[in-house]
């Protein structure tokens, strides 16, 4: 198939999933066209069947807001015609599903039919999309898509609760390339990060308020009072300064390593003992899955789609949002002795096996084939 993929090319989970999907589809013989405003961060290799087409939005001083949707829908029209793209898979409803629908309408005028598959990722539904300013456009875009998928049952339920949806929503969970996260523990640069007796705790996010990064610091503060520990703090975002100030006030700055944005998540997870994800909501929690695939147990909040990924008492523990004491207690339970830690590490990896990309990517292929037959 000749497939166009639209996504946010930044460090968000939706862009990561879209990129990994495109790369795997290309390995399976499909022709993939990424149509985005920047080269997706995990798209390292452009090959003969992976292409990247940049959406340019010219700056014009008359416009207070530059019309990105128009530029995207025009680019989609051009690329579908130029490369004979058969199907468009858009990740994130706003504004991608909307722009794709406009492109579809324009192409129809020229007798070209291109169906749209929309994948909902979470923030486009739970945080942004349900805002009254966007709700009618998001409802319309979902209902006008030829196929709709959501990355967890929880997100499907939220979508049906928050919007008036007439379309069927298929749950296709996020996935992981397990080979990429199958490190031997001997080749990690662990000794560069911590002393032998220190446990390594990791948090990775875009540090928006929904991630509750302050809770990471509070839990870590409690942990390091009980056992020697270091915190690997990966990501950039609006809460970064608050977090740095908090570490200074608590006197733990020397125990926290700030990585900023990193393309070496797999290496950082390789030497991690525990992952903290205390988010207020999370449609899936791709970061938790990446940790588990690296044999890192997860202490998380019990919210949204996280329980579909992190199994309480097996791959880690789930606590109520903001329950710092419970998260601390669970973290210490896992970290205190090597036997318990190793059991949780193996369990985490076992649980991650359920999300193997070789199992999940064919589900998208089946949806494309079905959509092309129906439309
Ligand atoms: O979580 C973010 O800040 C980024 C956001 C995105 O749109 O990229 O992530 C959402 O999609 C990911 C991939 O499907 C999910 O793993 C995240 O749980 C989801 N984030 C939220 O629901 C808050």
Task: At 34, list the tokens.
Answer: 């990424």
Q: What structural domains does the chain harbor? A: 2-175+357-374 (3.40.50.2000), 178-355 (3.40.50.2000)
Q: Residue 66: pLDDT above 70?
A: yes
pLDDT tens-digit series, residues 70-113: 999 999 999 999 999 999 999 999 899 999 999 999 999 999 99
pLDDT at 45: 67
ipTM: 0.97
Q: Which atom of ligand 1 is nearest to the CA of 12?
A: 8
**128 Cβ inside 6 Å of ligand 1:** no
pLDDT tens-digit series, residues 258-275: 999 888 888 899 999 999
pLDDT at 186: 52
Contact predicate 148/124, CB 8 Å: no
pLDDT tens-digit series, residues 119-168: 999 988 888 877 888 999 999 999 999 999 999 999 999 999 999 999 99
In this structure, the number of other CB atoms found within 10 A of the CB of residue 355 comes to 20
CA of 298 to the centre of ligand 1 (A): 17
Contact predicate 28/358, CB 8 Å: no
pLDDT at 208: 95
Task: At 49, list the tokens.
Answer: 């069947």
Of 283, 278, 284, 282, nearest in space to 323 by CA: 278
Of 55, 48, 137, 47, nearest in space to 92 by CA: 137
Residue with tokens 């608050």: 242
Cα distance between residue 186 and residue 200, in whole Å: 15
**17 Cβ inside 6 Å of ligand 1:** yes
With a CB cutoff of 8 Å and minimum separation 6, the contacts of 197 are: 228
pLDDT tens-digit series, residues 42-60: 787 677 899 999 999 988 8
Residue 275: its H or E element? strand 274-277
pLDDT tens-digit series, residues 156-204: 999 999 999 999 999 999 999 988 877 655 557 788 888 989 999 999 9
Cα distance between residue 319 and residue 299, in whole Å: 8
CA of 167 to the centre of ligand 1 (A): 22
With a CB cutoff of 8 Å and minimum separation 6, the contacts of 15 are: 7, 8, 9, 40, 41, 42, 91
Of 193, 138, 187, nearest in space to 162 by CA: 138
Peptide bond into 206 cis (omega under 30): no
Cα distance between residue 108 and residue 112, in whole Å: 5
pLDDT at 268: 92
Q: At what angle do helices 286-293 and 13-27 cross, to 10 degrees?
A: 60
pLDDT tens-digit series, residues 315-325: 999 999 999 99
Cα distance between residue 231 and residue 331, in whole Å: 13
Q: Which atom of ligand 1 is nearest to the CA of 174?
A: 14
**C-alpha atoms less than 13 angstroms from C-alpha of 265 in its C-beta half-sphere:** 25
pLDDT at 99: 97
**284 Cβ inside 6 Å of ligand 1:** yes
* Share above pLDDT 70 across residues of the chain, in percent, rounded to a whole number: 98
pLDDT at 188: 74
Task: At 60, list the tokens.
Answer: 């014009």
Q: Which atom of ligand 1 is nearest to the CA of 304?
A: 22
Residue 25: its H or E element? helix 13-27
**Mean pLDDT over all residues of the chain?**
94
In residues, how long is the chain? 375
CA of 237 to the centre of ligand 1 (A): 14
CA of 273 to the centre of ligand 1 (A): 23
Mean pLDDT, residues 349-362 taken together: 97
For residue 260, list its beta bridge partners: 234
Across 26-35, 200-209, 261-270, least confident range: 261-270
CA of 90 to the centre of ligand 1 (A): 15
pLDDT at 115: 98
pLDDT at 43: 83
End-to-end Cα separation, the chain, in angstroms = 15
């Amino acid at each position: 198939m000749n497939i166009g993929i639209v996504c946010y090319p930044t460090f968000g989970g939706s862009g990561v999933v879209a990129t990994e999907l495109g790369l795997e589809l290309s390995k399976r013989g499909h022709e993939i066209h990424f149509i985005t405003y920047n080269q997706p961060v995990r798209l390292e290799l452009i090959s003969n069947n992976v292409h990247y087409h940049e959406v340019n939005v010219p700056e014009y001083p008359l416009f207070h807001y530059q019309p990105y949707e128009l530029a995207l829908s025009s680019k989609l029209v051009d690329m579908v015609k130029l490369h004979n793209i058969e199907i468009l898979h858009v990740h994130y409803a706003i504004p991608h599903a909307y722009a794709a629908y406009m492109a579809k309408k324009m192409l129809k005028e020229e007798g070209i039919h291109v169906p749209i598959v929309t994948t909902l990722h979470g923030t486009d539904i739970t945080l942004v999309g349900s805002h009254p300013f966007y709700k009618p456009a998001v409802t319309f875009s979902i209902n006008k898509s030829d196929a709709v998928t959501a990355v967890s049952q929880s997100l499907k339920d939220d979508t049906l609760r928050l919007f008036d949806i007439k379309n069927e929503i298929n749950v296709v969970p996020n996935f992981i390339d397990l080979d990429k996260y199958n490190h031997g523990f001997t080749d990690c640069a662990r000794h560069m990060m911590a002393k032998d007796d220190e446990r390594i705790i990791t948090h990775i996010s875009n540090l928006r308020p929904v991630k509750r990064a302050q809770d990471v610091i509070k839990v870590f503060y409690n942990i390091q009072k009980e056992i020697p520990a270091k915190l690997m703090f990966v990501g950039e975002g609006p809460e970064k300064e608050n977090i740095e100030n908090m570490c200074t006030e608590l006197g733990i700055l020397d125990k926290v390593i700030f990585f900023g944005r990193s393309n070496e998540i797999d290496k950082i997870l390789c030497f991690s003992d525990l992952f903290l994800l205390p988010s207020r909501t999370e449609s899936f929690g791709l970061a938790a899955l990446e940790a588990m695939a690296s044999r890192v147990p997860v202490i998380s909040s019990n919210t949204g789609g996280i329980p579909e990924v992190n199994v309480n008492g097996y791959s880690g523990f789930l606590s109520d949002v903001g329950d710092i004491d419970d998260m601390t207690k669970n973290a210490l339970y896992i970290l205190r002795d090597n036997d318990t830690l190793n059991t949780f590490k193996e369990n985490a990896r076992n649980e991650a096996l359920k999300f193997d990309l070789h199992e999940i990517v064919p589900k998208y292929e089946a949806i494309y084939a079905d959509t092309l037959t129906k439309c």
